A and B are shown apart, each in its own frame.
Chain A
Amino acid sequence: MGKVVAQAIMSLDGYVAKPDNSIGRLFDWLKNGEVEFDDPAGKMTFRLTARSAAYWRGWVSSVGVLICGRTLFDVTDGWNGQHNFDVPVIVVTHERPAGWVEAHPDAPFTFVTDGVEAAVARAQEMAGDRVVLVSGGTSLVSASTWGCSTRWLSTSCRS
């Protein structure tokens, strides 16, 4: 059963986004290094420092399923049907986005409407022994942190 890891790119004082969901300079580290890294979906090339690249490559390849909330899904428009990590995505939502599903018939996206715990259980089944990444997104991570046994991943200091 997949280990559940909450991943966040976070400021020193604990913020993961501005109130309007924009990320400011938080993701700049993905483009200010000298080592090129193509994401598994082949959509973007990042430029990381050597140390970050080694870490990020290992992390990305460990992920089997990604869970996100409806806010992140809407902000990214469901990554146009394919997440950069090229893994199945489970969206926790109250309502399936009807038009989006029809527009992206091949997208490996599952919409779970019966809560965070159900979404995590479903993700762990799908992930097998790979990692379930809980992304986003303060409400989802908060819910799963308190409700389930979530391992935190620090991307800053212990790599």
Chain B
Amino acid sequence: MRQVVLYMSMSLDGFVASDREHPGMAIPEGDELKQWKLDRITKAGAHLMGRKTYEQMSSFWPQSDDPYATPMNDIPKIVFSRTLDDSDASWPTTRVARGDLAREIAAIKEQPGPDVVAWGGAEFAGALTAADLIDEYRLLIQPLVLGRGQSLFGRLPESRRLELVEAAPFPSGIVVHIYRPDHT
């Protein structure tokens, strides 16, 4: 069964959004990390995202000539929203998933194809995390403390163990932590 892999930038103190700075924008990721991400994202079976992130990405990537634009534009998108009309989901190719989050994810995982990538927003990623629907977390830990903001794990009903797969520091000071849920 294919897997759901979450990519998300996080401050050292665990915040994925903040009114102070955006954890994914504050620190330039550098060529090495960019290539690391490109090598992986290019193989994705689909991009999964919430409505807000979809609206930002769909108005940005079609006009971009950044190396990220190719995998973002060419790979199918699945946007999770109860309110978004099909006519507003015109970034080729997009499907709007309107059903129950866990059922939609289960259906995606049963389809054949490569692993799918989930993108934050704190809200969408937080909902996936709370429901334990992420198979692999690829957290890009920034050399940045925000002091306040939104936590990826703020909606967890209880503490949870993760299994460390890999930790890789990059020259930009960003450390990629890869975890899988520890269901043992």
Give chain A's interface residues, CB within 8 Å of chain B: 11-15, 24-25, 145, 152, 156-158
Contacts and interface: CB of A to CB of B under 8 A. Distances in A.
A32 B95 CA distance: 47
Contacts of B80: none
Given A12-B177, A13-B152, A24-B159, A158 B169 contact: yes
Given A12-B14, A24-B159, 18 more contacts: A11-B14, A11-B159, A12-B162, A12-B177, A12-B179, A13-B151, A14-B12, A14-B14, A14-B15, A25-B161, A152-B12, A156-B167, A157-B141, A157-B167, A157-B169, A157-B175, A157-B177, A158-B169
Interface in B131-153: 139, 141, 145, 151-153
B21 interface: no
A104 to B, nearest CB: 35
6 tightest Cβ-Cβ pairs between the two chains A and B = A13-B14, A14-B14, A14-B13, A157-B167, A13-B153, A157-B175
Chain B interface, >50% SS class: strand
Given A24-B159, A157-B175, A157-B177, A12 B167 contact: no
Interface residues of B, number: 19
Interface of B: 11-15, 139, 141, 145, 151-153, 159, 161-162, 167, 169, 175, 177, 179
Chain A interface, >50% SS class: loop
Nearest to A158: B169
Nearest to B161: A25
Contacts of B152: 13
B74 to A, nearest CB: 33
B146 to A, nearest CB: 9
A13 B150 CA distance: 11
Contacts of B12: 14, 152
Given A156-B167, A157-B175, A158-B169, A12 B159 contact: no
